[in-house]
Structures are given as structure tokens and as C-alpha cells.
């Protein structure tokens, strides 16, 4: 049973945060630079909200707001749905489907420790399925086929 904690360990990436008074331009630049689709909005240790690329599209571009004059606090989502590191992967996936979100900040005893995206879950599910296929194939055929051209 895969937990969020084990997926976070394998991912080994810091959770990216931004302050509520940053502008949408600053948030978009940070997301671009770090190749992520969401930022947790924090003030000190407090999680205030979440801002994702979907918000850039729906609440800024489609609403014709000026990105350089719009503060993140005006267009973020609050409150934030979070999960704990002990949560099962399947429960997180169900929560994302139910709440129609692709990002879940991970909070351990009130402290923000990471971020899990739908992409992280799909990647981990694919890894596990590949392992299962290899085990079953080896069980049936005695060995896993070597790639052509290797010794
Ligand atoms: P996403 O699909 O994650 O890009 O987000 C879709 C919408 O849900 C956006 O308005 C986000 O701000 C919001 N959202 C994303 N993740 C969360 C979350 N964990 N808790 C609350 N809202 C979220």
C-alpha cells in the first residue's frame, strides 16, 4: 500500500510557496521557472490558500484582470484541501476526483511538508503496474526478456 509520505520521499522536491501580496505576474514567473502548476499561499507558517495555473486561466485571463496589479490573495482558493503523509495513494486520488483538484498540499501535524499532484500519483501508479507486470511475466516465463543487443 503506497502512502503519500513514500511518494513524497521519492519525489524529493520542496513545496513551493508564495506570499498573499505577491502579484500574479510574480506567481506565474515562479511557476514557470520551477516547472510547477501550483503554489501554496502562506503567511509565516500559516497556509492561507492555493494558487494554480487553472486560476491564472479562469480568474485572471478570462476575467480580464491585470496580472501585474492583481494580488495572489484576490484570486487564490481558500480554504485548502490537504492530506497527511500517512494517507493512502488511492484515498488521495479519490479526494482529488471528488473535489476536482489536481494538487494536494501535504500537512504533518499542522506543518506544510510537501505537495502531491495528480501527475505524481499517475507516475507512481505506472511504476507499480510495471513492477507487477514484470513479476507476473517472470513467474510465467522464468525470466524477464533482455533487450535486443545487450550481452
Ligand atoms: P487544479 O486542478 O489543481 O489546477 O485546481 C483547480 C481549482 O481548484 C483551482 O481554482 C485551484 O485554486 C483549486 N485547488 C487546487 N488544489 C486545491 C486544494 N488542494 N484545495 C483547495 N482548492 C484547490
Ligand 1 pocket, mutate which of 58, 95, 103 (most atoms under 8 A from CB): 103
Rounded CA-CA distance 110/101 in Å is 21
**Closest-lying ligand 1 atom to the alpha carbon of residue 59:** 10
Q: Any residues with Cβ below 6 Å from ligand 1, and which?
A: 37-38, 50, 52-55, 77, 80-81, 101-104
Res 1 pLDDT > 80: no
**Whole-prediction pTM value?**
0.89
Averaged pLDDT, 28-37: 97
Backbone angles phi, psi at 66, to 5 degrees: -85, 110
- Tell me: the pLDDT tens digits for 83-113? 999 999 999 999 999 999 999 999 999 999 9
CA of 99 to the centre of ligand 1 (A): 8
CA 7 to chain CA centroid, nearest Å = 11
Domains of the chain: 4-141 (3.10.580.10)
Amino acid at each position: 500500500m503506497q502512502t503519500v509520505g513514500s511518494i513524497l520521499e521519492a519525489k524529493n522536491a520542496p513545496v513551493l510557496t508564495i506570499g498573499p501580496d505577491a502579484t500574479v505576474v510574480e506567481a506565474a514567473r515562479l511557476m514557470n521557472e520551477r516547472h510547477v502548476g501550483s503554489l501554496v499561499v502562506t503567511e509565516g507558517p500559516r497556509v492561507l490558500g492555493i494558487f494554480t495555473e487553472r486560476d491564472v486561466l479562469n480568474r485572471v485571463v478570462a476575467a480580464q484582470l491585470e496580472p501585474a496589479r492583481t494580488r495572489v490573495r484576490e484570486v487564490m482558493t481558500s480554504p485548502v484541501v490537504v492530506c497527511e503523509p500517512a494517507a493512502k495513494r488511492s484515498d488521495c486520488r479519490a479526494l482529488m476526483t471528488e473535489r476536482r483538484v489536481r494538487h494536494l498540499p501535504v500537512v504533518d501535524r499542522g506543518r506544510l511538508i510537501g505537495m502531491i499532484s495528480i501527475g505524481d500519483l499517475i507516475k507512481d501508479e505506472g511504476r507499480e503496474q510495471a513492477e507487477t507486470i514484470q513479476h507476473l511475466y517472470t513467474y510465467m516465463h522464468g525470466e524477464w526478456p533482455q533487450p535486443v543487443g545487450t550481452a
